Amino acid sequence: MQHAWRAASGPRPRPAPNHRLGGPRQPRGLVCSILQVNASLQPSRAALIARLRDERPLARLRTLGKVELDPPLYRCFPPPLCVRGTSGAVPQQLPLVTGRQEEEEEEGLGGRMGLLSILRKLKSAPDQEVRILLLGLDNAGKTTLLKQLASEDISHITPTQGFNIKSVQSQGFKLNVWDIGGQRKIRPYWRNYFENTDILIYVIDSADRKRFEETGQELAELLEEEKLSCVPVLVFANKQDLLTAAPASEIAEGLNLHTIRDRVWQIQSCSALTGEGVQDGMNWVCKNVNAKKK
């Protein structure tokens, strides 16, 4: 069963007529939105790059280039990166392309590709698998976050011995999320799970100020790991529902996140308990899946 991810709030812009996509889809589980640039209204590549240069990191530009050079591929595979709506181009906010929609879209284009489209269908891989590693100190809220992502009940959570794993399907991506226990005793086992990680999510209990130093140290050590080099990192400043929670900006400063130069990173304040902010963080994850520098 595929989860349809879409924006939770705000009206959805009407799709252009040549995009005959299915009706409104039921949001299930995690909700996230992906913005696509409408193919028919795409401005010239140079203009787009120029527009994006001032606000997006380099990794984005690179993938955008690929997308533009090879439009058929773009339609075959889910867009690895998303382009935020810029003033000139009218952004189309559409659910990510799934198999069924693809077919409809092609018929809509008059089937002008014939054999090519069949070949493309053969080539089009199943959902791209993404390995996400969820780390952080004990009691940071990793398991709650994992269960929130999988839309499971979060009221009976117990401390994690070992690890939990869940797969969350989203259009185009199969997110395999590994939640590893954060207890000091089992932190040495973390490294067994580093291999082939696409995204690292580091969870911090924003209200546990006494352990900011400890959590900062663990994160710094992770960032120095060779197997995790260049892996995009998302820091969740969790437990924002608590009054004593430190704001994300304060945590970012305390952890010296701005000194990270070798990878894309993001800090996102959230509450795994209420679900607030989780979706925004996962949007970022989807956008940066392929930003791992080789």
Partner 1 sequence: MFISLWEFFYENFFRYWMKWILRQMTGKCELQRIFDTYVGAQRTHRIENSLTYSKNKVLQEATHVMQGEVDKRVEDIMKEKNINPEKDASFKICMKACLLQISGYKQLYVDVENERKKPYDSDNLQHEKLLLKLWNLLMPKNKLKARISKQWADIGFQGDDPKTDFRGMGILGLINLVYFSENYTTVAHQILSRSNHPKLGYSYAIVGINLTEMAYSLLKSEALKFYLYNFVPGIPTMEHFHQFYCYLVYEFDKFWFEEKPESIMYFNLYREKFHEKIKRLLLDSNVALTLKI
Please list the active-site residues. Answer: 183
Separation between Cα atoms, residue 264 and residue 232, nearest integer Å:
5
CB of 203 to partner 1, least distance (A): 14
Structure token digits, residue 231: 């892996």
Separation between Cα atoms, residue 204 and residue 208, nearest integer Å:
8
Q: List residues near partner 1 by CB under 8 A.
A: 137-139, 154-164, 182-186, 189, 192
C-alpha dihedral, 149 to 7 to 204 to 164, nearest 10°: 10
Separation between Cα atoms, residue 53 and residue 65, nearest integer Å:
12
Place of tokens 């001032």: 54
Under DSSP, the state recorded for 181 is: -
CB of 46 to partner 1, least distance (A): 51
CB of 287 to partner 1, least distance (A): 31
CB of 243 to partner 1, least distance (A): 16
The three-class DSSP label of residue 230 is coil
Cβ neighbours of residue 46 closer than 8 Å, sequence gap 6 or more? none
CA separation (Å) from 108 to 103, 114, 274? Answer: 9, 13, 41
Question: Is residue 2 within 8 Å of residue 27, measured between CB atoms?
Answer: no
